[in-house]
Structure 1
Amino acid sequence: MRPYLRKMARVGPGLRGEYASTGFCVLRPNADLDPDFLYRYVESQAFEDQVLPLQKGVSYPAVLDREVRSCQIAFPGLTEQRRIVEIIEDHFSRLDAAERSIAAGLEKVEAMVAVALAAAGTGPMTPLTQTADIQGGIQKTPARAPREHPRPFLRVANVTAEGLNLDEIHYVEASDDEVARLSLRAGDLLVVEGNGSPSQIGRAAVWDGSIEGCLHQNHLIRVRPREGLLPEYLEIVWNSPIARRRLSQVASSSSGLHTLSVRKLSQLSFPVPSVADQSAVVSYIQELRQQSRRLTNELLRARTRSTSLRRAILAAAFSGRLTGSASDADRIEELASAAPPGAD
């Protein structure tokens, strides 16, 4: 058993006679101990404080079954146990409801983004080669190890489904002529050439120009919009469901590999309305994406806070400080605030 994972579960009535892996310690309460009371107790800090010091091993720290069963649990009569469980579940249900409310709002906004992306493609279909320039990148080889002329270099890892990730930038050796021909400009669309997952083929992000003279890997394809095509609009249409399906189609091959190339991208066409209409689409999608990011961050904060409050509720419950009255909130807040950093 690995208690630091904090993974506990109750066996429901649908499971009877099954076997458990040796990675589990099965605790079966006797007639004097309510199963729900035991379950909530093993989730508590009081139980964790007993078993964590018993862990042995470095790469796979674990506790033996007999050591878990040797832990102490103080419990009142069954009536009081059930009262305590009822209070815990009441508090937990409120936290669950708060999380569900935020999650529902996030799902609604994400659905609106999906609908908006699906409807983004309006205007005459225009070959990509008529509205943008397509360019491959530099292959990273031992000969490209940075020496006299190190140049910043973007890799596939820098282009994520959420946009650019510039936390780690590599460098390659490149001449001034190569930099002049191949360096990125703000507004370039960087397209991932290949991926193990067909659904991720051709994921793209707009280069923000934050690193001057930046080059890109040959597994990234640069699409540079010409006048009349807004980079932000191209990114939106590129990531729309219709375009994603088309990219998946052109990326497939008889060998079963899924890759894109400059030649394959040159076969694509995209709807290109007026610049004014492109700007309207960009403004609407950006507003929805901002709402989605805000709600995502709010949900993450709520879940972190919920974890802290749940542990505080259990601590209060198993130390006799939960009464089921309105004053419980103050005790729970006090315990949550007193928790050391990283306790969650």
Structure 2
Amino acid sequence: MSEVGRQGHQAHGEDWVPDGWLTLPLGSIASVRKTKGTAKSGVPCVELEHIESQTGRLLGWDASGTQTSIKTSFTKGDVLFGKLRPYLRKYAVAPFDGVCTTEVLAIYPNEEIIDSNFLFNLMQGDGVFSTVEALSYGTKMPRVSWADLSDIIVDIPPLSEQKKVAAILTAVDDKLDVIAGQIEATHTLKQGLMQTLFSQCSADWPTVSLQEVAGIRTGVAKGKKGLKEPIELPYLRVANVQDGHIDLTEVKTIAVDAAQVERYALQSGDVLMTEGGDFDKLGRGDVWEGQISPCLHQNHVFAVRPTPSKLNSYYLAALAASDYGRQYFLSCAKRTTNLASINSSQLKSFPVLLPPLDEQVRIADIVAAANARIETLSTKKAHYQTLKRGLMQKLLTGEWRVKLDSPSGIA
């Protein structure tokens, strides 16, 4: 140990553990459900896709009874953990009794030792999460087993302290839920506005194929060999192209031949659209405004370059994101179980509703106002997510202790 002693802590091997805390394997404080059940009418069935990454929210779970295969039963208060692709951080506290698929572990706490909400936050914490990532196996679809998870060593405070820590973190989660609801409501309003705008006068507007009013450019592929004069430049991946905004939080670089830079470089006004992904992400995108120059785009991202005298970039992005656009892309997309994709020929054939340019600008401005509201709320959401991560780092490690008799909770 690097220190002779540490106030408020006790020695445990090479580490220091806060006084009164226990150091135990995860398998001694929690177990997984093994009881089987059937997804039938009225019984909620949770799949991996129903657990929203990093938020603990369940979205769109199925209670229709259309799935009849045997599932794992879970109980209200269980921690539902997505063992497939664990890097997604899919955790949720079950708000009801139900069943889940084999890609989801239903973990229940030993209530004499650990609080369910504390366990939920503990498993999301950086300490446990980094170990989970290290234990996952498989390249294309990494996963982790409970046999491995149960051996993870964790430090836990007394139950009374756990409940206080969980209450503090839950308060932040509640705030995040409110913001998420506001974002969803704004998205719904935006979709309703677009539905109205594109249906009001569409019968009077001509329809042309996208290739008649824009150029469609494919992007650079990764891993090209034998480049004559390689140059490393920033490029946009599918992860950067979101519905209604371009996320530049992490921009990676790619090697390309210097002679090909102009071919793959984005121009301000290009409409970026994704080739595929989840059904709800098909054709998503936004307008590139030259935030980085030069900047390339990956081959899974199309760059559509409108003819300015005929087609407004922001109008096109709104049309593609509307129900009208999504219905077209889904109608011609190549589908697998949870994914869909389109090719450049299908994108070129996209039937563009073409009102006069001034009407295009009016529609684009209305949609832009909704997008600005969503962006503001998303920034607020990111702030609270950062706040929660900081609190988790302090509270789950005992760096900050809670006062059990204090309303604010933090010592």
Q: TM-score range by the shorter chain?
A: 0.5 to 0.7
Q: CA shift at 1:235, angstroms?
A: 0.9
Residues 126, 270 of structure 1: 8 Å contact kept: yes
Residues 109, 116 of structure 2: 8 Å contact kept: no
Structure 2 match to 1:209: 290
The partner residue of 1:109 within 169, 180, 186 is 186
The partner residue of 1:315 within 402, 405, 408 is 402
Q: CA shift at 1:109, angstroms?
A: 1.8
Structure 1 match to 2:66: none
Count residues with an aligned counterpart: 286
Q: CA shift at 1:216, angstroms?
A: 4.0
Q: CA shift at 1:111, angstroms?
A: 1.7
- The correspondence of residues 1-344 of structure 1 with structure 2, limited to 5 A, is 27=110, 29=112, 39-40=114-115, 43=118, 59=134, 73=158, 98-121=175-198, 123=202, 124=205, 125-139=207-221, 142-143=224-225, 145=227, 147-148=228-229, 150=231, 152=233, 154=235, 156-157=237-238, 159-161=240-242, 162-165=245-248, 167-175=251-259, 178-179=260-261, 183-193=265-275, 195-212=276-293, 214-226=295-307, 227-252=309-334, 258-302=340-384, 305=387, 308=391, 315-317=402-404, 321-322=405-406, 328-329=407-408, 332=409, 335=411
1:244-302 Cα shifts (integer Å, max 9, x gaps): 12012222389x99543332223221112222222222222222222222223324434
Residue type of the alignment partner of 2:184: E
Residues 153, 172 of structure 1: 8 Å contact kept: no
Residues 137, 215 of structure 1: 8 Å contact kept: yes
Residues 241, 272 of structure 2: 8 Å contact kept: no
CA shift in 2, pair 1:158/1:174, >3 Å: farther
Q: CA shift at 1:168, angstroms?
A: 0.8
Residues 153, 171 of structure 1: 8 Å contact kept: no
Residues 241, 273 of structure 2: 8 Å contact kept: no
Residue type of the alignment partner of 1:315: V
Percent identity (aligned): 17
Where does structure 2 lack aligned partners over 5 or more consecutive residues? 1-23, 32-75, 79-93, 99-104, 136-147
Residues 25, 68 of structure 1: 8 Å contact kept: no
Cα separation, 2, equivalents of 1:158 and 1:196: 10
Cα separation, 2, equivalents of 1:41 and 1:247: 43
Residue type of the alignment partner of 1:288: A
CA shift in 2, pair 1:203/1:106, >3 Å: closer
Which stretch shows the higher mean deviation, 304-313 or 162-171?
304-313
CA shift in 2, pair 1:237/1:41, >3 Å: closer
CA shift in 2, pair 1:14/1:173, >3 Å: closer
Between Structure 1 and Structure 2, the one with more strand by share is 2
1:294-318 Cα shifts (integer Å, max 9, x gaps): 223324434555684995998211x
Structure 2 match to 1:33: none
CA shift in 2, pair 1:163/1:315, >3 Å: same
1:128-162 Cα shifts (integer Å, max 9, x gaps): 233212233455564453x5363746354464224
CA shift in 2, pair 1:224/1:2, >3 Å: farther
Residues 217, 303 of structure 2: 8 Å contact kept: yes
Cα separation, 1, equivalents of 2:173 and 2:221: 50
CA shift in 2, pair 1:155/1:87, >3 Å: closer
1:85-114 Cα shifts (integer Å, max 9, x gaps): 999999888767655544443332222122
Where does structure 1 lack aligned partners over 5 or more consecutive residues? 16-21, 30-37, 76-80, 323-327, 336-344
Aligned residue for 1:315, secondary structure, equals coil
Cα separation, 2, equivalents of 1:92 and 1:158: 28
Question: Which one has more relative contact order, counting CA pairs under 8 Å at least 6 apart?
Answer: 1
Cα separation, 2, equivalents of 1:244 and 1:150: 37
CA shift in 2, pair 1:93/1:283, >3 Å: same
TM-score normalised by the chain length of structure 1: 0.61
CA shift in 2, pair 1:295/1:180, >3 Å: closer
Between Structure 1 and Structure 2, the one with more helix by share is 1
Residues 241, 286 of structure 2: 8 Å contact kept: yes
State which structure, 1 or 2, has the greater radius of gyration over its C-alpha atoms: 1
CA RMSD across the alignment: 5.1
CA shift in 2, pair 1:138/1:42, >3 Å: closer
